[in-house]
Each structure stands twice: as structure tokens, then as C-alpha cells.
């Protein structure tokens, strides 16, 4: 055991030495490492604060825009609802009014032919009652109203014969006016319906636009909220890390010296402990000590095994053992044999025998009471232990299931984290590729636009040069060269300026980009008479204008393509940034969940180990209970019956000794 202690102290010393060496290595490199960490954090903090401020301001602006968009949409919906209610009311009024007018027109259509054919019984018809009502309510001249009223008030009209078509004319005029009113109302209704439909279309378009704006701004507000929260957490972590690094750096020398002191003290104590163990082992392993142990330890052990017992105790123990043998069904009870010997020998008085019988009966009853208590104890403890074992088995099953579920969840989270990590890597790669492609496209655009612009300048120069020769009125002279102060002084003093270098560029026009050191080749020498080709020059100039138009159109197309490509690229970058932030947050959340799940699995594993140990201990305890109690429970009834018979026999023997006669 002492040697094991030596090995343990030595092994612990090696572990401590490795920890000390690692700490000292950190002390040597911490200045540079912590300095870089602190500098990075100090540079990162203001950047994060600025980004958080910008994102918060943009979020606030978007929230304000969102409130306005919701308000505008609500107002549009309210206006649409009011317009719908008004339209329904107008449509109902139109239907009611035109319905009544059409009914009156129908009545007039029936009345006019009837009056023209003759009036027999006409004034008693329903149509006549309609005419009476119209004669009162309809707008007409007083003469016509009186004539119509007089006509409708003539008895039954049997003897009336119209002298003229005045009544019919009045009715036809009434019908025409009503039909015109219906046509006007129908036109007004159609116009109102068209206006309503136009309003509905405009409001629905406005609602759709506001809805789309609300959805987009809501999404952007959510993304910005996530971004602000993420950067705020990053800022907080960075500040905490900076404070810890500064604190650690400030205490670095002190902590390193403290560790050196602790290590020196540890080495000192370890050496002292190893010396103590070595001295102890040396003493115990000495030959004289071993010889002494051989002489002393066995006798001492023997002394621990000595047992002394009185004769009366030995007799009581022997009687108990013989009684147990008798209860288990052996032939005789030694106590009864003793009584028989005492009775046969006659050396003892009946009083002493009766006393022995009473004592034996009391002892038997006490033994039965002990068996009863032991049986109750055994049944209760066995039932309790079995219930505890069942509960432990259920707990173990639940823990094993929880561990399996936790391991499966950990595996799933690991796979999801790997997938998200791979997705972020692929997204970063795609962002790099898109950025490189955008850069190449932009360079191609600049090159194409520069080439087109140069071509336009060349064409304009060529056109202007042609105009100088063919159309002097359209020629635009180049701006005069501004003289430098030195050149102006030279001219004022009558000097001559140095010859101006020929323009560079394309064909000496000064247009285009020519690398340093490259000069246009000299024009070929020629002395040729030239005849103006005015008509042909017009076609050339027109062709130049056509080419210029094509180039300008191509420039516009290039600019539009570049603009669209840039917008697509910016949208892609925004979407990629949002996606990366979302995936990064998901990775962080899943890693946190995975860590929690691993802690839970570890806790359940330790709990499962404890439950299994507890179940094993319970099983041992239950096995001990069965070893202690099974025999008693199996022969309990037989032992009780035997004791009862012995007590009855002893009672009878006592009665006989007291003079009872059972013959």
C-alpha cells in the first residue's frame, strides 16, 4: 500500500510538472498573444459600435416607413369600403327609381292604345289608377294636368268620346319623358359604375403596392433586428474578452511568480512525502522488523479469537439448539427429556419442575413472538426491496431511453451543424466567384464604354474634319490653346513659340489611349491633286451619324446592362449576407443545444451508473433477506404448530404434577 502511495505521489508530480511547464510557456508568450488580442479587440469594438448604430438607424427608418405603409394601406382599404357602400347605395336607388319608372312606362304603353281604340271601361282598370297617380306626381304644365285630371274623373267614361288626340298626345309626351329619364339614369349609372371600377382598380393597386412594401420592409426589419442582436452580442463578448485580457495581462507577472512559488512549495512537499514513504517502507521491510512481526502478530491474532463462556450460558445455548431441532420435527425435545429424567430420578422436587415448565413455556412463547416479529419484518423488507428494485429497473429503462434519444439528437445536431458549415463555405466560395465575375464584367464594361467613347470622338472628329472641307458653315474650330505665363511673356516680347508637338492618339487626333513611348507613324509623303466629292461626302457624313447613333445606343445598352448586373450583384450579396448571418446564428444555437444535450447525456449516464450500482446493492440486500428469511417463512406454520403442541403438553404435565387426573 505504501508503494502504491509512492507511485501515486510520483504520478501526481509528473502531471503537476506538465501543467507548470505549460503555464510557464504561456507566461513567456502571453505578452505577444494578449497584446495582439487586445489590439484586435480595441480595433473591432468601434467598428462594431458603428455598424450597430447604422443598422439601428436603418431599422428605425424602415419601421417608420412600415408604419406609414400600413397607414396608407388602411386608408386605401377604408376608402375602398366607403366607395363600395356608396356604390351599392347608388345602385339600389337606381334600381328602385328605374323600376318604378319602367313600371309607369309599361302602364302608359298599355293606356295609349286603349284610349286610341275607345274608352269603354278603361277608367276602371289598374292602368287608369296609375295615370291618376302620375297626373298628380309628374312634372307637367297646369293645362295638361287639368285636362288629364278631367279626363280621368269622367264617371266610367262610357259616354266619353275624345274630340281630339290631346290626351293621347299628353300621355305620349309623358312616356317619352319617362323613357328619356330612364336613359339618362342608365347613362349616369354606367358612368358611376365605371368610375367606381376605376377607383377600385386604383385602390387595389395601391393596397397591393403597400402590402408588398410592408412584407419587404418587415423582412428587412427582422433581418436588421437579428443583425443588431448578433453584433450586440459580439460587441459584448469582445468587450468582456478585452477586459479579461487586460486584467490578465496586468496580473500576468504576479500570477506567473505565484505559480513558480506554488510549484517550488509543491516540489518541496512532494520530496518530503516521498522521503517519509521511503523511510517507512525501509523500516517495515527490514529483516528484524519482519522477524518481529512473525513473532508478535500471530499471537495477537490468536488472542483476538479467544472466547470465554460460563457453564449456565452453555446450557441455555444447548437447550435453544435442541428446542430448534425439536420444532423442525426431530424425535424429541431435550428439555422434555430433562424433565423426564428429573421426574424419574426423583432428585428434584415438583416445585422446581413446575418452575422449569413455566420457564420453558414462557421461553416457547417468547420464541414464537420472536418468529412472528421476524416474519413481519421479513415480509415487509422483502416487499420494500422488491418494490425498490422495480422502481430502479424503471428508472434505468427511462435513463437508457433518454440517453439513446440524447445521443440521437446529438448526432442529428452534429449532422445539421456540418451541413450548415458546408453551406456557409459554399456560400463564401460563391460570393468570391460572383465578386470576381462582377469585377471582370465591370472591367469589360469600362473597356467597352471607353472604346465606344473613343470611337464616337473619332467619328465626331472625322465628321467635323469633313465639314471643314465640305461644309465649312458646320465646321467647329478646336478651342485655342491657352498660353502659359512664360509663353505669353515670350510672345509679348516679340519672340517665337516653340513648335507644338503633333497630337497623339488615333491618327494624330488626340483621341484614345496611347502608351508612353509609342508615337504614331509619320504620314506617307504624297503630292496628289484632290477633287472635292461633295455628294459622296454627304453619304459618308450620314453614315458617320448612323455609326454614331449605333455607338450611342450600344453605350446606353452597356450602361443598362451594367446597372442591372450591379443591382443583381448587390441583391445577391445582401441575400448572401442575410443567409450567412442566419446560418451562423443557427450553428450557434445548434451548438448550444448540442452542448446542453451532451451535458444532459453525461448527467443521465452518471445517473444510470448510480442507479445500476443501487440496483446491484438492492439485489445483494434482497438476496441476504431471502437467505435470512426463506427458511423461517417456509417452516413458520410447522414451527408454530410444534410449539403449540409442546405448550399444551407441558400444560398437561404441569396439571398432572399439580394433581390433575387425565385418566
Distance CA 207, CA 75 (A): 9
Does residue 649 surpass a pLDDT of 70?
Answer: yes
Name, of 144-153, 187-196, 266-275, the range with top average pLDDT. 187-196
- CB–CB of 64/184 below 8 Å? no
Binning pLDDT at 50, 70 and 90, where does residue 519 land? very low
Task: Look at residue 139 and give its three-state secondary structure.
Answer: coil
Please, what's the largest Cα pairwise distance for the chain? 185
Cβ atoms within 10 A of the Cβ of 577, count? 14
Q: Which residue has the higher pLDDT, 107 or 397?
A: 397
Does residue 70 surpass a pLDDT of 70?
Answer: yes
- CB–CB of 544/459 below 8 Å? yes
Q: Can you read off the three cell numbers belonging to residue 76? A: 386605401
pLDDT for 625 equals 87
- CB–CB of 643/368 below 8 Å? yes
pLDDT for 128 equals 66
- pLDDT, average across residues 328-339: 49
Task: Look at residue 177 and give its three-state secondary structure.
Answer: helix
Binning pLDDT at 50, 70 and 90, where does residue 333 land? low
pLDDT for 628 equals 84
Chain centroid offset of residue 81 CA: 39
Distance CA 63, CA 222 (A): 10
- CB–CB of 566/445 below 8 Å? no
Cβ atoms within 10 A of the Cβ of 628, count? 14
- pLDDT, average across residues 177-201: 88
pLDDT for 401 equals 92
**For 202-231, how does the pLDDT look when each residue is reduced to its tens digit (9 = 90+)?**
988 989 998 998 888 888 888 888 888 888
**For 444-456, how does the pLDDT look when each residue is reduced to its tens digit (9 = 90+)?**
888 888 887 877 7
- CB–CB of 20/259 below 8 Å? yes
Average pLDDT value for the chain: 76
- CB–CB of 510/503 below 8 Å? yes
Cα–Cα nearest to 364, from 61, 641, 52:
641
Q: Can you read off the three cell numbers belonging to residue 83? A: 366607395
**For 336-394, how does the pLDDT look when each residue is reduced to its tens digit (9 = 90+)?**
555 444 444 444 455 676 788 788 888 888 988 998 998 899 999 899 999 999 999 99
Give phi and psi for 493, each to the nearest 5: -90, 10
Based on its alpha-carbon atoms, the radius of gyration of the chain, rounded to whole angstroms, reads 61
Task: Look at residue 136 and give its three-state secondary structure.
Answer: helix
- CB–CB of 166/148 below 8 Å? no
Under 8 Å CB-to-CB from 91, ≥6 apart: which residues? 189, 193
Binning pLDDT at 50, 70 and 90, where does residue 605 land? very high
- Find the DSSP H helices in 305-349: 311-327, 334-345
Distance CA 327, CA 333 (A): 8
Distance between start and end Cα atoms, the chain: 78
Cα–Cα nearest to 174, from 122, 199, 139, 209:
139
pLDDT for 494 equals 66
Q: Distances from the Cα of 6 to the Cαs of 20, 276, 280, 448, in angstroms? A: 21, 10, 11, 85
Cβ atoms within 10 A of the Cβ of 131, count? 25
pLDDT for 360 equals 82
pLDDT for 505 equals 55
Distance CA 171, CA 108 (A): 7
Task: Look at residue 564 and give its three-state secondary structure.
Answer: helix
Name, of 460-469, 613-622, 642-651, the range with top average pLDDT. 613-622
Q: Can you read off the three cell numbers belonging to residue 136? A: 298628380
- pLDDT, average across residues 584-599: 89
Q: Which residue has the higher pLDDT, 321 or 561?
A: 561
- Of the listed ranges 177-186, 415-424, 474-483, the least confidently predicted one is 474-483
Question: What are the structural domains, with CATH classification, of the chain?
Answer: 2-250 (1.10.287), 337-425+601-657 (1.10.287)
Cβ atoms within 10 A of the Cβ of 627, count? 9
**For 608-638, how does the pLDDT look when each residue is reduced to its tens digit (9 = 90+)?**
999 899 889 999 888 988 888 888 888 889 8
The beta-strand segments (E) located in 562-648 are none
DSSP state of 348: S
Angle at 200 between CA 197 and CA 204, to 5 degrees: 145
Cα–Cα nearest to 173, from 111, 121, 223:
111
Binning pLDDT at 50, 70 and 90, where does residue 331 land? very low
Does residue 533 surpass a pLDDT of 70?
Answer: no
- CB–CB of 478/467 below 8 Å? no
Q: Can you read off the three cell numbers belonging to residue 206? A: 395601391
Q: Can you read off the three cell numbers belonging to residue 284? A: 517495515
Under 8 Å CB-to-CB from 90, ≥6 apart: which residues? 189, 192
pLDDT for 460 equals 74
Name, of 242-251, 274-283, 499-508, 620-629, the range with top average pLDDT. 620-629
Cα–Cα nearest to 608, from 409, 408, 398, 390:
398
**For 29-50, how does the pLDDT look when each residue is reduced to its tens digit (9 = 90+)?**
777 777 788 888 888 899 989 9
- pLDDT, average across residues 119-144: 65
The rounded percent of the chain whose pLDDT value lies above 70 is 71
- pLDDT, average across residues 51-60: 90
pLDDT for 161 equals 47
Question: How many Cα atoms within 13 Å fall on the side-chain side of residue 524?
Answer: 3
482-519: burial string, b at 16+ Cβ within 10 Å, e else: eeeeeeeeeeeeeeeeeeeeeeebbeebebbeeeeeee
Find the helix or strand (DSSP H, E) in which 635 lies.
helix 534-657
Does residue 304 surpass a pLDDT of 60?
Answer: no
Q: Which residue has the higher pLDDT, 135 or 173?
A: 173
pTM of the model: 0.34
pLDDT for 231 equals 86
Q: Which residue has the higher pLDDT, 6 or 55?
A: 55
Amino acid at each position: 500500500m505504501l508503494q502504491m502511495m509512492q507511485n501515486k505521489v510520483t504520478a501526481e508530480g509528473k502531471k503537476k510538472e506538465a501543467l507548470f511547464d505549460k503555464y510557464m510557456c504561456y507566461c513567456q508568450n502571453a505578452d505577444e498573444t494578449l497584446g495582439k488580442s487586445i489590439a484586435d479587440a480595441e480595433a473591432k469594438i468601434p467598428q462594431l459600435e458603428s455598424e450597430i448604430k447604422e443598422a439601428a438607424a436603418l431599422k428605425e427608418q424602415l419601421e417608420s416607413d412600415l408604419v406609414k405603409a400600413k397607414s396608407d394601406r388602411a386608408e386605401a382599404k377604408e376608402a375602398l369600403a366607403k366607395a363600395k357602400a356608396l356604390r351599392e347605395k347608388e345602385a339600389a336607388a337606381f334600381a328602385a327609381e328605374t323600376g318604378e319608372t319602367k313600371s309607369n312606362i309599361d302602364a302608359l304603353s298599355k293606356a295609349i292604345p286603349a284610349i286610341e281604340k275607345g274608352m269603354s271601361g278603361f277608367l276602371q282598370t289598374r292602368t287608369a289608377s296609375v295615370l291618376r297617380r302620375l297626373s298628380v306626381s309628374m312634372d307637367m304644365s297646369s293645362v295638361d294636368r287639368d285636362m288629364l285630371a278631367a279626363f280621368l274623373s269622367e264617371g266610367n267614361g262610357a259616354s266619353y268620346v275624345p274630340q281630339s288626340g290631346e290626351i293621347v298626345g299628353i300621355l305620349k309626351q309623358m312616356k317619352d319623358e319617362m323613357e328619356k329619364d330612364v336613359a339618362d339614369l342608365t347613362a349616369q349609372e354606367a358612368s358611376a359604375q365605371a368610375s367606381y371600377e376605376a377607383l377600385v382598380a386604383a385602390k387595389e393597386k395601391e393596397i397591393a403596392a403597400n402590402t408588398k412594401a410592408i412584407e419587404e420592409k418587415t423582412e428587412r426589419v427582422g433581418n436588421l433586428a437579428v443583425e443588431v442582436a448578433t453584433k450586440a452580442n459580439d460587441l459584448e463578448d469582445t468587450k468582456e474578452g478585452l477586459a479579461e485580457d487586460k486584467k490578465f495581462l496586468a496580473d500576468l507577472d504576479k500570477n506567473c511568480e505565484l505559480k513558480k512559488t506554488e510549484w517550488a512549495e509543491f516540489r518541496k512537499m512532494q520530496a518530503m512525502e516521498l522521503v517519509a514513504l521511503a523511510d517507512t517502507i525501509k523500516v517495515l521491510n527490514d529483516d528484524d522488523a519482519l522477524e518481529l512481526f512473525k513473532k508478535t502478530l500471530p499471537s495477537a491474532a490468536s488472542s483476538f479469537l479467544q472466547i470465554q463462556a460460563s457453564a449456565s450460558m452453555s446450557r441455555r445455548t444447548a437447550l435453544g439448539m435442541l428446542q430448534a431441532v425439536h420444532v423442525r420435527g426431530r424425535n424429541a425435545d431435550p428439555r422434555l427429556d430433562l424433565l423426564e429424567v428429573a421426574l424419574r430420578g426423583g432428585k428434584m422436587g415438583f416445585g422446581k419442575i413446575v418452575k422449569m415448565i413455566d420457564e420453558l413455556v414462557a421461553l416457547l412463547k417468547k420464541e414464537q413472538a420472536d418468529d412472528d416479529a421476524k416474519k413481519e419484518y421479513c415480509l415487509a423488507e422483502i416487499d420494500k426491496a422488491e418494490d425498490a428494485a422495480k422502481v430502479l429497473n424503471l428508472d434505468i429503462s427511462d435513463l437508457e431511453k433518454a440517453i439513446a434519444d440524447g445521443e440521437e439528437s446529438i448526432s442529428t445536431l452534429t449532422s445539421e451543424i456540418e451541413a450548415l458549415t458546408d453551406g456557409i463555405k459554399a456560400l463564401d466560395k460563391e460570393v468570391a466567384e460572383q465578386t470576381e465575375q462582377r469585377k471582370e464584367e465591370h472591367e469589360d464594361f469600362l473597356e467597352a464604354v471607353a472604346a465606344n467613347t473613343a470611337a464616337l470622338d473619332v467619328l465626331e472628329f472625322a465628321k467635323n474634319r469633313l465639314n471643314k472641307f465640305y461644309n465649312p458653315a458646320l465646321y467647329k474650330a478646336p478651342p485655342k490653346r491657352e498660353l502659359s505665363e512664360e509663353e505669353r511673356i515670350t510672345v509679348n516680347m516679340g519672340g517665337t513659340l516653340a513648335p507644338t508637338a503633333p497630337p497623339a492618339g488615333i491618327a494624330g487626333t488626340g483621341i484614345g489611349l496611347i502608351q508612353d513611348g509609342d508615337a504614331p507613324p509619320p504620314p506617307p509623303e504624297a503630292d496628289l491633286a484632290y477633287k472635292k466629292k461633295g455628294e459622296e461626302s454627304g453619304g459618308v457624313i450620314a453614315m458617320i451619324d448612323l455609326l454614331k447613333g449605333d455607338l450611342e445606343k450600344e453605350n446606353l445598352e452597356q450602361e443598362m446592362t451594367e446597372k442591372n448586373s450591379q443591382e443583381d450583384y448587390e441583391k445577391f450579396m445582401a441575400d448572401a449576407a442575410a443567409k450567412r448571418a442566419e446560418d451562423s446564428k443557427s450553428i450557434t444555437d445548434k451548438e448550444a443545444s448540442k452542448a446542453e444535450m451532451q451535458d444532459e447525456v453525461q448527467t443521465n449516464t452518471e445517473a444510470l451508473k448510480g442507479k445500476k450500482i443501487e440496483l446491484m446493492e438492492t439485489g445483494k440486500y434482497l438476496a441476504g433477506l431471502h437467505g435470512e428469511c426463506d427458511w423461517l417463512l417456509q417452516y413458520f406454520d410447522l414451527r408454530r404448530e410444534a410449539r403449540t403442541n409442546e405448550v399444551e403438553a407441558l400444560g398437561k404435565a404441569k396439571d398432572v404434577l399439580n394433581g390433575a387426573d387425565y385418566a
